[in-house]
Amino acid sequence: MKMADIPFQTVDWKTVEATEHPGTAGKALWRTRQFGEIRVRMVEYTPGYVADHWCEKGHVLLVLQGRLDTELADGRKVTLTPGTSYQVADGAEAHRSSTDIGAKLFIVD
């Protein structure tokens, strides 16, 4: 990820309109800003959310609130809590997320 041509600026995430993305259960609310090729999101998963796909996109993901369970295609499972993150490259390892209690995330991809 190369970050170029992005002037200094702040984002008040409360003012960024949310878009709804249903999972196989629950939903994700994305507040998204695009900076060139860099997508930055504040994402909230409702309690009971289960992703509807295996993701192969690279991310830097930080859990702000709640708990996030992430399953990798090779069978590994990790649980992230506030203050923990994961980093994965594009195409490196397919993963999908779920949460029983809900989660709020900050994601850069």
pLDDT band at residue 74 using 50, 70 and 90 as cut-offs: very high
Half-sphere exposure of 19 (CA within 13 A, CB side): 5
State residue 1's pLDDT score: 67
In sign, the C-alpha dihedral spanning 14, 17, 20, 21 is: negative
Q: Tens digit of pLDDT for each residue in 15-57?
A: 999 999 999 999 999 999 999 889 999 999 999 999 999 999 9
Q: Which domains does the chain have, with CATH numbers?
A: 18-108 (2.60.120.10)
State residue 77's pLDDT score: 97
Over 70: is that where the pLDDT of 67 sits?
Answer: yes
Query: Taking the model in full, what pTM does it have?
Result: 0.92
Q: Tens digit of pLDDT for each residue in 75-93?
A: 999 999 999 999 999 889 9
Over 90: is that where the pLDDT of 3 sits?
Answer: no
pLDDT band at residue 5 using 50, 70 and 90 as cut-offs: confident
Q: In the numeric block, which tokens belong to residue 95?
A: 């993963």
